[in-house]
Amino acid sequence: MSRGSSAGFDRHITIFSPEGRVYQVEYAFKAINSTNLTAVAVKGGETACVAVQKRVPDKLVVANSVTSVHTLTPNIGAVMVGMIPDSKFQVKRAQLEAAKWKYQNGCDMTADQLARRMADINQFYTQNAEMRSLGCAMLMIAYDEETGPQIYRIDPAGYFRGMRAVGLGVKQQAANSFLEKKFKKKSDFTYDETVQLALECLQSALGVDLKSGEVEVAVVTKSDTSFRKLADEAVDFHLNAIAERD
């Protein structure tokens, strides 16, 4: 996009350009890549898995205080990519929305409902001038009793999509190409296949071999619908399995 074509339409939060674009929302998408991370989510037969790069800025940071993986409810979790304070703001909002729903309705909010709600909130930021859009995007996973494993992608424009697999962040295009090829051949992956596909995809998109400390993996499964991170040992196991397979 050339600067000339925006001509001042990009300095107000919520106005259309003559081409019908809302520039401030488009700029918010740029902010998603500001932390230079990539995440991948894969849905198997009875598993949803999300894997995301972990890059501890320096050795002095307490490693386990750096995470892109957030529990929204006991059974719904998300990986956030983009500006970290905005990510935390959105995670907190999601937790509050889910808690409020439960309090008001006496039952758990489903991942579908929560994803929809978070997307609605993002849409509102694009229409109303009070607050800017958030510079982050969300990959949400959960296991639904009726429909099985779920992946949702929610972005600053207010879109949300149910996905079979998806990449997010700097290398999302490479990740998506990788995933599309794999899903052409097969889709009813086992638990191990699902986790390893996510990790393999991340390694392929980044062009590097990851170590257990450089990646965070979280899963939900039919047998255990709670959202949980894999321990480093488990991640190592899967990384080794991939390496041995090659």
Using CB under 8 A, which residues numbered 207 to 226 contact its own copies?
none
Phi first, then psi, for residue 22 (nearest 5°) are -110, 95
Asked if 185 touches its own copies (CB under 8 A), the answer is no
The β-bridge relationship of strands 136-144 and 228-229 is unpaired
Cβ–Cβ < 8 Å for 193, 44? yes
Taking the C-alpha atoms of residue 91 and residue 85, their distance in angstroms, rounded to an integer, is 10
Residue of 81, 179, 206, 230 interacting with its own copies (CB under 8 A)? 179
Residue of 106, 130, 146, 185 interacting with its own copies (CB under 8 A)? 130
Q: How many residues make up the chain in this entry?
A: 246
Q: Candidates 68-76, 102-110, 115-123, 217-225 — which segment interacts with its own copies by CB under 8 A?
A: 115-123
Q: Residue 239 corresponds to which tokens in the numbers above?
A: 């990384």
Cβ–Cβ < 8 Å for 38, 166? no
The footprint of its own copies on this chain (CB under 8 A) covers a number of residues equal to 76
Q: Exposed, middle or buried: residue 180 (CB in 10 Å: 0-12, 13-18, 19+)? A: exposed
Asked if 123 touches its own copies (CB under 8 A), the answer is yes
Residue of 74, 100, 102, 127 interacting with its own copies (CB under 8 A)? 127
Asked if 229 touches its own copies (CB under 8 A), the answer is no
| CA nearest neighbour of 177 among 151, 196, 204 | 204
Asked if 20 touches its own copies (CB under 8 A), the answer is yes
Asked if 116 touches its own copies (CB under 8 A), the answer is yes
Q: Which residues contact 150 (CB under 8 A, 6 or more apart)?
A: 43, 48, 111, 112, 140, 141, 142, 143, 144, 162
Asked if 28 touches its own copies (CB under 8 A), the answer is yes
Question: Could you say which residues in the range 81-100 bind its own copies, by CB under 8 A?
Answer: 83-86, 88-89, 92
Q: Candidates 61-69, 206-214, 217-225, 237-245 — which segment interacts with its own copies by CB under 8 A?
A: 61-69
Helix (H) or strand (E) holding 76: strand 76-82
CB closer to its own copies, 88 vs 102: 88
Cβ–Cβ < 8 Å for 44, 194? yes
Residue of 37, 98, 139, 163 interacting with its own copies (CB under 8 A)? 163
Asked if 62 touches its own copies (CB under 8 A), the answer is yes
Asked if 199 touches its own copies (CB under 8 A), the answer is no
Smallest separation (angstroms) from its own copies to the CB of 244: 27
Asked if 44 touches its own copies (CB under 8 A), the answer is no
The β-bridge relationship of strands 38-43 and 165-169 is antiparallel
Asked if 35 touches its own copies (CB under 8 A), the answer is no
Asked if 133 touches its own copies (CB under 8 A), the answer is yes
Asked if 39 touches its own copies (CB under 8 A), the answer is no
